[in-house]
Amino acid sequence: MKYSLIIIFAIFSNISYAQESQDVKKIKNLIQDVDNLNISDESRIQYADSISLYLNNILKTPNSFEYNFMGLNRVKIISSSDQKIRLFSWGFKLSDGKWRYYCIIQKRNKNNITVHNLIHSKTLLKRESVYTAKSWYGALYYNIIPYAKKYPNRYFLVGWDGNIDNYQRKILEVIDFDQDNNITIGVKSIKSNNRYLKRIIFNYSTKTVMNINYKKNKFIFDHLAPSQPKYKGYYEFYGPDFSYDSLEKHKNEWEIKQNINPVK
């Protein structure tokens, strides 16, 4: 009986791997179509929408949470450390230089898996705005961190956005799932000088690099400043000034600390 179970598991694993490989190959072919610069924006959007539709179908299947989607390099895939969330984000530039973003969230619940699409709208990103899955400002996400045990359906997202004419930005914010799995993006949960922010937005030059790193219970990020005082407020001249700030966890909340030692 033991050996029969091993054989059944091996066959099932091979079938799952074969199906995953076929799925990845089809998505990669669609990505090549999107990257074709000789087609119209309308055609590229149609191909990108097909990627989204295809991924949605895959992620709704029972065993898809175990897929690693090996080789799907143009889609950024990140997972939360509690293994409850997987997030797929990607994007491409249109002929006018603007980015079009896509994001799919796969959530493992107690009895099922749910799939949620963030819809890139024309909504502007603001520090104090709240967004839903249908009114998303658009970004590429590269890290997801559980907020606190007291809030098991709340996560930090770290993202990048290039949809500004003269500069780029990174975003550090919280996404929350309610009991019906409705999504809120931008929860007042970041403490700064005795008030609570919905997000931190880092605006900086397209000619430089800005880092947000995470280690246990702490985000450490470059402090941004203009290259000269006269450029204050002109973010195309902003970059790291070789000092660092942090967002640190204390019990069940997170607080901004300024001018910290990054090696402690």
Q: Up-side HSE of residue 261: CA atoms within 13 Å toward CB? A: 2
pTM: 0.89
Tokens of 142: 């590269």
Task: State pLDDT tens for residues 168-216.
Answer: 999 999 999 999 999 999 999 999 998 999 999 999 999 999 999 999 8
pLDDT level of residue 8 (50, 70, 90 thresholds)? very low
Task: State pLDDT tens for residues 31-80.
Answer: 888 888 788 999 999 999 999 998 999 999 888 998 888 888 889 999 99
Mean pLDDT of the chain: 90
Whether residue 19 is predicted with pLDDT greater than 60 in this model: the reply is no
pLDDT level of residue 28 (50, 70, 90 thresholds)? confident
| Burial (CB count within 10 angstroms: exposed 0-12, middle 13-18, buried 19+), residue 110 | exposed
C-alpha–C-alpha distance, residues 13 and 64, integer Å: 12
